[in-house]
């Protein structure tokens, strides 16, 4: 399973990284309605922080990112999205070898994304520190170029 293919299926909704039910069904090799039916049968395993249904506005905004609605359009119902925990729970609901392999790939991808986010914030911190130092150096150079005139004895007659 290509991690890049999975990363392209991750969206941010309600400040959470999620995957659409249709994308997951495609990865698992089942129809979307089969995946959603399995989730419905095991609804106690999927609280709101594991899976939720998109609102009309969220779905509209998300479809805008696809540039075309043909891949995810033509739905009768608003799609469900799964957080990382919900995707992990799907492996217990969909008990095929493919589902297990796909879940392993997805979990690796989420770990990789967290690692990159951590490295990014560390890099951002270092750049901020360098900017602060360079500002101090710049101000020191300006001061050296334009020395302040201190109580000097004036030349000429008083």
CATH number for the domain that contains residue 107: 3.10.260
Please report the pLDDT score of residue 69 as a whole number.
47
Q: Tell me, yes or no, whether 132 lies in a domain.
A: no
Q: What integer pLDDT is reported at residue 72 of this predicted model?
A: 55
- Assigned domain for 127 exists: no
Q: Examine residue 114 and state whether it is found in any structural domain, yes or no.
A: yes
Report pLDDT for 73: 57
Give the domain range for residue 75. 3-119
pTM > 0.85: yes or no: no
Task: Give pLDDT, residue 134.
Answer: 79
| Cβ contacts of 101 within 8 Å, gap of 6 or more | 1
- Confirm whether 154 is domain-assigned: no
pLDDT along the chain (158 residues), means of 10: 74 90 88 91 91 91 66 75 87 76 79 79 79 78 69 65
What is the total count of domains within the chain? 1
Q: Note whether residue 13 is domain-resident.
A: yes
């Amino acid at each position: 399973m290509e991690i890049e293919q999975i990363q392209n299926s991750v969206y941010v909704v309600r400040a959470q990284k999620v995957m659409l039910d249709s994308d997951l069904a495609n990865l698992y090799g089942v129809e979307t309605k089969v995946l959603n039916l399995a989730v419905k049968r095991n609804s106690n395993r999927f609280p709101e922080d594991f899976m939720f249904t998109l609102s009309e506005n969220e779905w509209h905004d998300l479809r805008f990112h696809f540039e075309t609605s043909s891949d995810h359009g033509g739905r009768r119902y608003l799609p469900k999205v799964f957080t990382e925990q919900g995707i992990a729970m799907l492996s217990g609901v969909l008990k095929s070898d493919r589902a297990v392999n796909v879940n392993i790939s997805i979990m690796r991808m989420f770990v990789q994304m967290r690692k990159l986010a951590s490295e990014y914030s560390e890099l951002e911190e270092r750049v901020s520190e360098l900017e602060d130092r360079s500002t101090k150096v710049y101000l020191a150079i300006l001061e050296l170029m334009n020395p302040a005139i201190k109580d000097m004895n004036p030349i000429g007659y008083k």
